[in-house]
Structures are given as C-alpha cells and as structure tokens.
Structure 1
C-alpha cells in the first residue's frame, strides 16, 4: 500500500476506532469551546441577510426532525444543516482553523444528525473533534493562503476550504457508527462530490459574491450525502488521494504532502493548538489592527470626529480588490474591507450582530471616516510568518488632536496558548456567546444555554440542548 492509499486507510480507521475516552481533557475542552462559539454565531446569523437566505432555503426541504438555530423553525436533517451552515458563517464571526474556516462546514451536519439520533454530548464532542482534526491535517497537506515562497507571501492561484468536506463527512460517519470500510467509502465519495475551491476568484473580484468563499450549506449537504451513500452501499475509490488523477489534482492544489495527515494520527491531536476565535465579526486579517486601534482609542478616549487619519500596517497579501474595496454596496462587503472595518471599529459599537446592521454599516460617520483610512504591507510580515505561523505583526497610527498615537500587535486576540495575552478565555467566549445569542434569546436563556453547552460532556441526549438554541 503506497502512502496515498494509506491516507484513506488510516483516516478511516481513525474515525471508526477512536473513542471519547481517547480524547485528552484539552481536546475535549477546545471542542466544547468551538461548539459553544459556533452555536452563538449561528443564532446571531439570523440577523444577517445571508443567514436569512439560508433559513429560507433550508425550510424548503420539508421536515421537522432538526432545529434551525435562532429560529422557531424545524426542517429535515438536510434543511437544518444547510441553514445552520449559512447562519454560523453569516457574520464571519466564527472560529478559524487552518485551512481557514472549518466549523461552519463540519458542525451543522453533526448537529442535525446528533439531534435526530438523540446522541449523547460525548458522541457529538467526539464527532466534532474528529472533524476538526481531519480538516486541519488535510489542510496542512495542501496549498495555504499564507504560503511563503522565496521569502515572500505567495497565495496559491487556487485555494479555499473545500477539503473540510472530509472532516464533515467523518463526523456524520462517526455518529452513524460506520465501520472503517464504510468510512473509507464515505470519505472517497466526499472527494468526488467536493465543492470547488473558488476563494481565489472571490478575493480578486469587486464587488465579490455575497456567498463569500463558499456556500457552506452546499458542503454540509455534500458531507451528509457522502456518508449516506456509503452507508447505503456505494463503493468509493481507494486511490482517491493519489496526486496525478485524484483529489489533489482536481481540487487544484500545487502542493500535496500526505505526511502531514499521517504523522502521529491518533496519538497527537494538532487542531487545538491552532484553533482561534474571533472577537470581531470581521475577516480575521483585520483583527490584529482592530486590537491595536482599540488600544489607542481606549487609552486616549478618542472619539471618531477627532480622528484626522488612520494608517495600518497589515498582512502581506491584502493588496487585492476584496480587502481594498471601499464601495460598500452590501453589508457582507463590510466584513472584508480594510478601510471600512477600521472606520467601523473606531466607533466602538458592540461587537456582534450590531456591527453588521445596515444602520451601522452605512452610518454617515463611518462612511466619512473610511475615507481617512490608509494601509500598507507590514515590512516584517513574511519573516515573522516564517518563524511563527500564528504571528500577524501589525502597527496602527491614529492622527488626532494634532498628535500621532501608535500601537502594535504581534498576534490577534483569540489566538495563542492558554495564559497568553492573546488567548480568548472561556469566560470571554461566554460573554461573546451571550451577546450573539441575545439577538434571538433572552439573556437568561442565553446564559442557561451557554451552561448547557459547556457541560455537553455530561449530557445524555443533546436534542434538548440543541432545541434550546431555537426560539420555539
């Protein structure tokens, strides 16, 4: 068996054989934090047009088996998974993990299936942990947005998050209790029906599509389909990961390093150390500059009307139409514009759904300040990234009151190990959750739901908890 066939065989065994008891306390804790954060983002997504569209489409798939987050609606497994995938990613407030966004794609199908099967909290945690570990490992084997070539950041011509379909499929297979052979067929079929990687096109065009880098509901559908096709008896392709004609070729990656998938698979869990959370509902590339901007404003009590100009030193690949866009014609555009994001951040609106309400996005004061924002590439970005893949060196200067106020950051809030300044504590995640869930639930219900989600490992039937994330 060559290495590429071994990838499928080892991943299949990893999914089929891993038990909850095999997870360390750190893996369980981080998985629960991701589920908590994602559910909150999903509830908040009901305030956004993209989330509302996802709900409308999900409800077309008739059924009452599964909960659509933040609403009084129920739908089929497929309908709820589609809607929840769109809801979780609607505000771009969800957690990130290489290859980029993972939870909006891998969690919705698992939530829907766990609810309908009355799975335990431990089963849902295990399925979600497997999904994130597999997504991280396959993502590391392929091209990455922040790849460094010859000392420069060189994003690949084709990239995206389509490979998360393997993690999403693994979660469904695990909840169904599929044996390794069936899991292998499911993963192979997932490869054959994987969405394309269209994110490079998205970042090069303005105005970009409002489905952003991927229609999350479509990938969630694909994962559910792949697992069920294998369960019903379809055979997969055991050579699907070979690079000449298999998945690496037709998904468009220039790099295929399967050793990243196989290295200590099952004995070392890698995703918790690279998982990070987003305090701002904005593209992660702007989080370190927003941290620096907030420091300046908080320490000096600067008001937006006092600001004469903002200059930011940012990541090394942002000279693309998506991030340079100043023509905000849809609220989704505001999730990626550097100039608009810093102008909005300077107004200190409550971080959460408030940031993407049309009256905030198009606030005349925000739009005026946006014209006073400029950015350049941070000169140390490539070197810093080579030494530390989590680093995001940034500098922000604010001109106000005839002075120049300066702040710098090396890592954005929400990243880093426990105990570091950039780590987002569970208490901070609960506060974020309460704000997000408060868009549809009372504060009392929001805090009760947070407690139930944090105690997921002790829940015998997750259906009650998931249904508590609806409004009925």
Structure 2
C-alpha cells in the first residue's frame, strides 16, 4: 500500500504531527485560519452565505456539536462543514494557493470534526498543514490556469479544484485519528467520489452560476463521506492516483500528470507557504494589482468618479472569457468577477470588504455609469513576466481625468509572497482584515479573543473555545 501514491500520502498524513512542522508552516496555518474565519463572518448576510447557512442547518439537523460560523446554529459535522465552506467562499475574499481556492474546501471539515471531537489547536494546525500541502502538491502535478505554451497563454480546456478533495479528506482523517491504512482507503474513496471539474464551463457562461467554480459545500461532503466510510470499513481504490490511463488524472480531465511533484520531499520540504496568498479585495484575484494601482491614483489625485472620462486596463492573458468580460450585472455575485464593474467600483474608494457586495453600491448609478467607461487589453508582457516569477500578475492602468492621463503599473498584487516585500500581507494586516470582516457580526470582545486565540493556536487546549467566539450569542 505504501508504494502507491495514495499510500504515501496516507503515511505523510499520519506522520505529520504538530511537532514535525517547521515554524513557517505553523505560522501560515494560523494566518489561513484567521483569514478564513473572517471571510465566513463577513458573508453571513450575503446571498450565497445565507443559502449555505440555510442548507447546512437543514442538513445538520436541529441539534449537534459543530458550529455554523457567525450564527447560533450548532448542527452535525456534515451540516456545519457544508455551511462554512459556502460562507468562507461567498465573498471571493478567501486565501488562494495553487491550484486556486483551497481553504473553503479543506478548512470546514477540519473545523467541524476538530470542534466535535474536542481536538487541540496543535491538532488543527497539523490537519491544516497536511491539507494545504497535499492540495498544493497535487495541484502542481496537474494542468494550471496560468499555463503558457510557445510564448502564448494556454489555459486548459478542463480545470477545477476537485483535487482538493484529497487534502480535505486527509485533514478529517487525521483529526479523527485514523491510522495510515484507513486514511489510505479514505483517500482512495475520495478520488472516486470527487465532484467533477466544471470550472471552465463556469468561465464560459455569463452571467455566471452562483455555485462558482466548484460548490464548496459539495466538496466538503465528499471528503466527509470518504473519511467516515473508510472509518466504518469501506475499501478505497488505492491505485486511483497511480493509474494515468483509467484513474483520477484521466477522469478529472488533466492533460499533465507529474506525480513526482506530489512525492518529492514529501514530509520534509513544505512547499505551500511559498505561494500562499491572501485577498484584500472581495473580487477575483486577477484584478487585485489593478485595484492597488487604481487606489493610489484616485487617492493621490483626489479623483471623484464623475471626473473620470475613461479607464483602460491591461490584464492577465487567460481572462478573455465571458465570466470576466461580463457587463450584465444581474446579481451581486456577478460583481466579483467582471473586469469593468470591479474597476468602476474600485474607483469609488469604498474600503474593501463586505460593503463591496451591498446592492446599493453594486447597482449604484455612479458605478454602472463608470463601468461603461472601462476598457481592457491583454498585457503585452504577461507571458514573459509570468515566466519570471509565479507570483506575477502584470497590471497596468491608465485613468483619463481632468485632461490628463494618470498611469499606474504593478507586477505583484498586495497579498502575495514575492520579490517585492511590499506585496506581502503581514499578520497585522490580516488581523485588521479579520476585524473589519467580523465587525457587526460578533461583539468586539469576541473579535479580539478570536484573533488572539488563533494567533496563539498552538496553546489552545480545545478548539471548541475558538468556535464558541465566532457565534454572535453570549458565552
């Protein structure tokens, strides 16, 4: 069993206790958790978040031992995981690391199981580390959205985040205390029941489906099912990742499969922190460097939206697809991806956060009028700069106002680890983002307690105490 990829991943899961983790990995897991909790809290009143809560409560039953973040619901682990996945991803403000969005798929199950079983902060850190490292490595072994070929953008025809089901399952298995054998079977089951990779269809159909690239709640349920079925005695397909002709790589749709990216240095060379990024804006990451530049131009020159005659942006090459080109904004969700709308909204200098999804702003006459003045082209140096460093998201913006053209240019957006130290999002900045997202959802005293507890998570004896503070009611 150990010779299969699934077997080696199971061994890695079983052996990666808190004491084996480098400091940088521990620190990143705490940052990820704090950011994820804040994103979930910010979404409790948003349409996608409210639907996730409603369905999670229905699925989870009237009583249970796992928290739906930002509510007083205590439901079953499956219901809480579903709701929390939807909440974390609702605003599209959650952390990203290859293959893309990982946290809304791998964090919720770990939180629910950890809370229900009374696991420690160290246990949760180990589970989050395993789930992110596994997701990152499998993602790197497969096709990637920002792939290039012969000097041109070459996005895959089939893509998605279904491969995170392995990391999500591993986190649950670790917190449940499953041995390496049962964990291997859980991973083998997970690979056979993962959701399909439908993300490219989502790119092509606008206005877009509100399930996004992959319904977070659905993947959490696949991971829950896989871990529990293995625990109860089901047998998984242990060869699911080794068989390129008939296994996971084939039926999930990747044209590239490099298993050495999964296994090389596994357990000793922790890789995900090198590309772990955070999102200051509740908008697709492709626009963040442009929004950084735009904010500087508007602030430094005190430009009002009604003074702007036009905005031209140079964007990443792979976004020439309907979900980003869409100008038919029918739902607040559409505003998270439209290039034209995002730039128009950014010019209004509303602090980034849940306010960006308020209908009064999204559909305001000023934003909609300015959206008509936004044009875009593909950045001519996109491929060259991307090849130079993985964090590159080349962006250039030209704002015409007052008879002048104000120009801004940036290679690395805020929130990314890159050669530019200014692009790194500090822990202090993440704490402020958490405070802003949690404000008006939970009391100020709880906001401070949660931030302090998460940043000291290794010393938390029972993570249920942290989850108690992300409920609005008293403690």
TM-score by length of 1: 0.98
* Native 8 Å contact 2:443 2:472 kept in 1: no
Query: Secondary structure of the equivalent of 2:422?
Result: coil
The whole-number CA distance in structure 2 between the counterparts of 1:47 and 1:291 is: 27
Q: Which runs of 4+ in 1 moved over 3 A?
A: none
How far has the Cα of 1:73 moved from its partner?
A: 1.4
How far has the Cα of 1:419 moved from its partner?
A: 7.6
* Native 8 Å contact 1:44 1:436 kept in 2: yes
Counterpart for residue 141 of structure 2: 141
For residues 5-49 of structure 1, what are the alpha-carbon distances to aligned partners after superposition, in whole Å with 9 as ceiling and x for unaligned?
531121110001111111111100011000000000011111210
Q: How does 1:452-471 map to 2 (within 5 A)?
A: 452-471=453-472
For residues 203-226 of structure 1, what are the alpha-carbon distances to aligned partners after superposition, in whole Å with 9 as ceiling and x for unaligned?
011111111111100100110110
The whole-number CA distance in structure 2 between the counterparts of 1:439 and 1:91 is: 16
Counterpart for residue 96 of structure 1: 96
Q: Which runs of 5+ in 1 are unaligned?
A: none
Counterpart for residue 252 of structure 2: 251
The whole-number CA distance in structure 2 between the counterparts of 1:57 and 1:339 is: 33
Counterpart for residue 168 of structure 1: 168
Counterpart for residue 35 of structure 1: 33
Counterpart for residue 11 of structure 2: 13
Q: How does 1:284-299 map to 2 (within 5 A)?
A: 284-299=285-300
Greater mean deviation of Cα atoms: 57-66 or 422-431:
57-66
Counterpart for residue 64 of structure 2: 64
How far has the Cα of 1:417 moved from its partner?
A: 5.0
For residues 277-326 of structure 1, what are the alpha-carbon distances to aligned partners after superposition, in whole Å with 9 as ceiling and x for unaligned?
00000000100110110111121111111111111100001111100000
RMSD in angstroms over aligned alpha carbons? 1.2
Counterpart for residue 50 of structure 2: 52
Provide the aligned length of Structure 1 versus Structure 2.
Answer: 470
Counterpart for residue 221 of structure 1: 221
Counterpart for residue 449 of structure 2: 448
The whole-number CA distance in structure 2 between the counterparts of 1:76 and 1:319 is: 42
The whole-number CA distance in structure 1 between the counterparts of 2:365 and 2:433 is: 27
Q: Which runs of 5+ in 2 are unaligned?
A: none
Counterpart for residue 434 of structure 2: 433
Query: Secondary structure of the equivalent of 1:347?
Result: coil
How far has the Cα of 1:444 moved from its partner?
A: 3.2
Q: How does 1:327-406 map to 2 (within 5 A)?
A: 327-406=328-407
The whole-number CA distance in structure 1 between the counterparts of 2:418 and 2:174 is: 29
* Native 8 Å contact 1:45 1:88 kept in 2: yes
* Native 8 Å contact 2:4 2:239 kept in 1: no
Query: Secondary structure of the equivalent of 1:9?
Result: helix
* Native 8 Å contact 2:4 2:238 kept in 1: no
* Native 8 Å contact 2:135 2:164 kept in 1: yes
Counterpart for residue 239 of structure 2: 239
* Native 8 Å contact 1:182 1:231 kept in 2: yes
How far has the Cα of 1:238 moved from its partner?
A: 1.8
Counterpart for residue 422 of structure 1: 423
How far has the Cα of 1:418 moved from its partner?
A: 9.2
For residues 339-383 of structure 1, what are the alpha-carbon distances to aligned partners after superposition, in whole Å with 9 as ceiling and x for unaligned?
000000010112111000111101110010000001100000011
Counterpart for residue 302 of structure 1: 303
Counterpart for residue 322 of structure 2: 321
The whole-number CA distance in structure 2 between the counterparts of 1:385 and 1:417 is: 12
How far has the Cα of 1:384 moved from its partner?
A: 1.0
The whole-number CA distance in structure 2 between the counterparts of 1:444 and 1:67 is: 19
Query: Secondary structure of the equivalent of 2:235?
Result: coil
Query: Secondary structure of the equivalent of 1:421?
Result: helix
The whole-number CA distance in structure 1 between the counterparts of 2:269 and 2:419 is: 18
Q: How does 1:92-241 map to 2 (within 5 A)?
A: 92-241=92-241
The whole-number CA distance in structure 1 between the counterparts of 2:257 and 2:440 is: 43
Query: Secondary structure of the equivalent of 1:56?
Result: helix
For residues 234-292 of structure 1, what are the alpha-carbon distances to aligned partners after superposition, in whole Å with 9 as ceiling and x for unaligned?
11112111100000011011110000001100011000010000000000010011011
* Native 8 Å contact 2:391 2:418 kept in 1: no
* Native 8 Å contact 1:44 1:439 kept in 2: no
The whole-number CA distance in structure 1 between the counterparts of 2:74 and 2:121 is: 21
TM-score by length of 2: 0.97
